[in-house]
Amino acid sequence: MAHVWSHPELARCLVGGDVGALAGTKLAKQNPLAPGVYWLDVFSPSIAAPQTPNGELVMRGWLQANTNAVRVTTREEHAEGTLTPPSSPGAFPWLTGPATVSGAPYRYFYVFQVLSTPLPFPFAVLGYPTISKLAPPEQVTSADTTITSDDVIQKPPPQPLFDFGPLVDALETAGLVAGGILGLYLLVQATK
């Protein structure tokens, strides 16, 4: 099954920032995955993207098939918001399914450690995991596996409530103009 959106595009739209993989970190494209620590955003169908393959089921299947070779250290669920259409019929003709959808998970963040050679990773559905650290199990510390989605998502810095830059620029310009007029007035007065 092909993606409608590529994994990074979907992550950027749903998360509201750039994922670390887009910022120069390395993606694992070797199959099977080498021993080490990886992180990955996994998506399931949602109201916003109903055509998305159910990556959560695929990921759980891959993990279950690799119980001795892979260990999950972090799993976060990020739920889609609540949508309750009005009770009038036909108000949302594009919405099929239950009238109320509340907290349906659509993004899962996984950090997992490959301990030994696993079965091939399902890149076609899940995309490429991001390499956090390539190392044999004995060289991986708990600090290497303690990663949250907030650690890897790059969000723009918060914007101030009011940007004084344009106001300061306008005041500077007004001050220069007023100073020029005052200077010209004084020059004219001095020559009288």
The token duo for 118 is 């696993």
Span 74-103, mean pLDDT? 54
Using an 8 Å Cβ cutoff, are 19 and 12 in contact? yes
**Taking 50 as the threshold, does the pLDDT of residue 98 lie above it?**
no
**Taking 50 as the threshold, does the pLDDT of residue 20 lie above it?**
no
**Taking 70 as the threshold, does the pLDDT of residue 90 lie above it?**
no
pLDDT band with cut points at 50, 70 and 90 for residue 105: low
- Name the nearest CA neighbour of 47 among 94, 86, 110, 5: 94
H helix runs in 90-192, sequence order: 123-126, 142-145, 149-152, 165-190
Identify which of 16-25, 59-68, 92-101, 168-177 has the greatest average pLDDT. Answer: 59-68
139-154 confidence digits (pLDDT tens): 998 888 888 887 877 6
